[in-house]
Structure formats: C-alpha cells, structure tokens
Structure 1
C-alpha cells in the first residue's frame, strides 16, 4: 500500500499547498481520502483525473470538501474528452444534506459509506469521531497491512481500540499543548502521541496542522508518549506499507 499526502493543513491551505488529504494506491487502484481546498491541483502531480477510482469524504467541513465541485467539473470534461463516462464513486456518510450534492449526472455518484466494507482492494471500517460535525475516522487494510486516519477529532477513547496494532496511524494534530481542551473537536500532538502509544501502532504521521507556531513542536509533544517513529506528514512523499 502506497500512501501519499497531498496536503497537510487544517482550515485552509498555505500558499502552493492543500488542506489535509491523501492518495492511497494498491495494485493500480487509486483512492483519494478527502477533497478539500487545493487537493485537486496537488492530486494531478501524481495521477490524472481519470485514473482516480474512488474517493472517501470524512465529513462536510469546507477544508475536506471544497474541491468536490472542481472534481465534478474535471470529471465532466475528462469524460467528454474520452467520449464515454467513467463514473467516480464517492463514499461519504449520509447524515448531512451535503451527501445529496455529491452525485453529479453520470460523472460522480455518492455512496453511503456505512453500506460499504470494501472499496476496490481495500477493506474499510469507520467510527464516529469527536468533532463539531458528524465525522468518520477510517481504517483501511490490504494484504495484512493497515492504516488508520483519525480525520478531525478531539480526544476519543474509542479510537484506541479502533486503531489497535495499525501499521500506521495518521492523526490530526491541529493544536499545540497550551490549547489542549480549549478548542473542541481537535487534538494536540501530545494526544496524538498518546493515542499511538495506547493503540500500539508502528508509526505515527501528524496532519491537519495549525497555521502558526513551530509545527515540529507537535512532533516533540507526540514523543512525550510515543517512542516509535513519529513525523509530520510530508506532501508528495510516498509512504510504503509492505
């Protein structure tokens, strides 16, 4: 399984970047994880639009869906050029009226993620997170390897069992330690490290980063609890789980 961060920011993208999003590939099947601002541009550094096989949307805040409209138009244009439609399935929860806006003619189709346990070669599980909007953490497994994406969440004890023994935990870390408990729906680097430790994962990547301060401090916070490999997700880098 290949995992490529397309963006790492929370809220909005910094210049020439994108909000938190990942491209996941196995055996030529390409899965896009979240589609916020700047993601579609970043995606095309790695694959063309028609190579995309499926999308997962964790929740409907703008930093996770802002480029859905752009993706709809991209699919329209690419299908017209190809002369035949290739419908792109978008897996998302139906707990919000935004679910209905994902389907776009024959080009994109919304699929209730609660009805899916397999997307291409990937086995998937979901769990509700501690966030201001209904949001899902996602566990993806293939060929005996697993990655867990916390998506947006405050501290949530249920994520410990959900993340158990994952080969990689990709956790949000939108807050520095002085803000812990003051801003609901997000975690600090320390909490991400504690989750990684309690779940017994092999490595930790931090994403959904804040726009101020020294982001490497989030890694230092995480290392208070987690002694295995921890780093900030690096856009464009290919993380291989094999």
Structure 2
C-alpha cells in the first residue's frame, strides 16, 4: 500500500469536526506521520492502533503542528510499548512538547533527529530545508526511486520553495488565506494564489492545499491556486486519501 491520508487540514485551531495539520504516509508497510496538530491523534489511531508508526516528522513548534505529539508520547509511554519511533523535528518542538509532560521525557519513546538535515528514513530519503516563518520551520522533501512528496509546513514566499517541490509528484503547500496581505504586513504564511504560483515554478505534478484558516471557502482557494497552476489542485480534507503513484 502506498498512500497519503489527511489527518488534519486546518491552521491555527481546528474547525468543528476537523483537525489541524497532519498527514499519514504509508509506503510498502512503512508509516511516517507529517505533523501532529490539534485533533490529529484520534484520527491517527484509527489507522495505527497504539500509535504504531515508524517515524514522525514535525516541521515546527507551533501547537497546530505539534501538540498531539504529546498524545502519541502518552500512548506509547503509559501504554508500556517499547518499540521506539524515529522523530525528526526542529529543536523548538522538543522544548514545546516536552514541557507539557510532568512525567517521562520524549527521548524515552523517540529516537530524536534534528531538522533541517538529510536522513535515510525507511524507503525515503528525507531532505529538510529551512523556510521562513515566525519560528524555525523545515520544509520536507521525501523521495524514493519512483516518487517524490514535498511539504512546506508554514512559510512565506521564498526561492527555496521551487527547489523543495521540484518535479514533486505531490506538493503539499500552506494556503492559509485566499490572497496575500498588503505589502509591509508582518506575515508567516502563504496564500492560495501564492501556493499555485510556487507549485507552478516547481513544476509539481499535483498540488494539495492545506493549513486553511478556519471558516475559509476552500473551493475558492482551489480556484485561486488554479489560476497559476495548471495541474490537479486538491484541497486537504480530513480522511482524504491519495495514492502515491506517478501520474
């Protein structure tokens, strides 16, 4: 089985019935989670009882991307489960999530590796590069001999996006708002129009928009991204699955 399942698609906080950023990648029996924001753990456990995943990748320390890592820690630690999980994350994640737990430490459950960096992760080569945000954020590129998946986490426009998503079969891009804010506004996220532009520059094959501001019109986000990107545009929706195959 080679598929990606959307665990959560909201930015900032989850809408009712939804969750914040999170994706489960399953590739020939190897399971990787990308981000674990609010509400993603119960959805992960539907697919992976006891949190039985091989690796977790957390792009940055904001709670809408990492807070349910604490829940996964509790499942493993208090459940007495001894198989260790590889954790790849920016340093701030360890401080943020570790501070939630009065008993036990993350390194008792996880084998911890720092992002950005490059690693061999099961069948994938993981290349994580810094992208600008309010806190250190790592864009993630996961590649095999016949598939490339890229994910921005949260970012603003940056030349590194074109390299991160270059020729990706699936490029998951932050599309928090419909359009960019006025020039000079302090910002840390992309708009749907920009997601389409950068996916086009990267020559990605399929674009998935995610990290939607609660209440936003997602169909309009897809339409706006499609003004620049001529390939398939998907809106991340909880429970959506995408086969990881060349198109």
- TM-score normalized by structure 1? 0.91
Q: Which residue of 1 aligns with 2:140?
A: 138
- Unpaired stretches in structure 2, ≥5 consecutive residues: 100-104
Q: Which residue of 2 aligns with 1:157?
A: 159
TM-aligned CA deviation for residue 212 of structure 1: 2.8
Q: Which residue of 1 aligns with 2:131?
A: 129
Q: Which residue of 2 aligns with 1:222?
A: 225
Query: Matched residue of 1:139: which SS?
Result: strand
Call closer, same or farther: CA 1:6–1:191 in 2, change over 3 Å: same
TM-aligned CA deviation for residue 54 of structure 1: 0.9
Retained in 2: the 8 A contact 1:203–1:229?
yes
Once the two structures are superposed, what CA deviation does each residue of 1:59-105 show, in whole Å capped at 9, x if it has no partner?
00111111122111101133x2x5xx112221112367627939436
Call closer, same or farther: CA 1:153–1:146 in 2, change over 3 Å: same
Retained in 2: the 8 A contact 1:23–1:33?
yes
Measure the CA separation in 2 of the matches of 1:96 and 1:67.
Answer: 11
**Is 1:205 matched up with 2:208?**
yes
TM-aligned CA deviation for residue 178 of structure 1: 5.8
TM-aligned CA deviation for residue 13 of structure 1: 1.1
Retained in 1: the 8 A contact 2:69–2:97?
no
TM-aligned CA deviation for residue 176 of structure 1: 1.6
Call closer, same or farther: CA 1:87–1:192 in 2, change over 3 Å: same
TM-aligned CA deviation for residue 2 of structure 1: 1.2
Retained in 2: the 8 A contact 1:180–1:188?
no
- TM-score normalized by structure 2? 0.89
**Is 1:190 matched up with 2:187?**
no
Aligned length: 238
Retained in 2: the 8 A contact 1:151–1:172?
yes
Q: Which runs of 4+ in 1 moved over 4 A?
A: none
TM-aligned CA deviation for residue 153 of structure 1: 0.4
Query: Matched residue of 2:47: which SS?
Result: coil
Call closer, same or farther: CA 1:104–1:127 in 2, change over 3 Å: closer
Q: Which residue of 2 aligns with 1:89?
A: 86
Once the two structures are superposed, what CA deviation does each residue of 1:135-161 show, in whole Å capped at 9, x if it has no partner?
000000123100110110011122112
Q: Which residue of 1 aligns with 2:72?
A: 71
Call closer, same or farther: CA 1:171–1:48 in 2, change over 3 Å: same
Q: Over aligned residue pairs, what C-alpha RMSD do you find?
A: 2.0
Query: Matched residue of 1:75: which SS?
Result: helix
Query: Matched residue of 1:194: which SS?
Result: helix
Measure the CA separation in 2 of the matches of 1:191 and 1:50.
Answer: 35
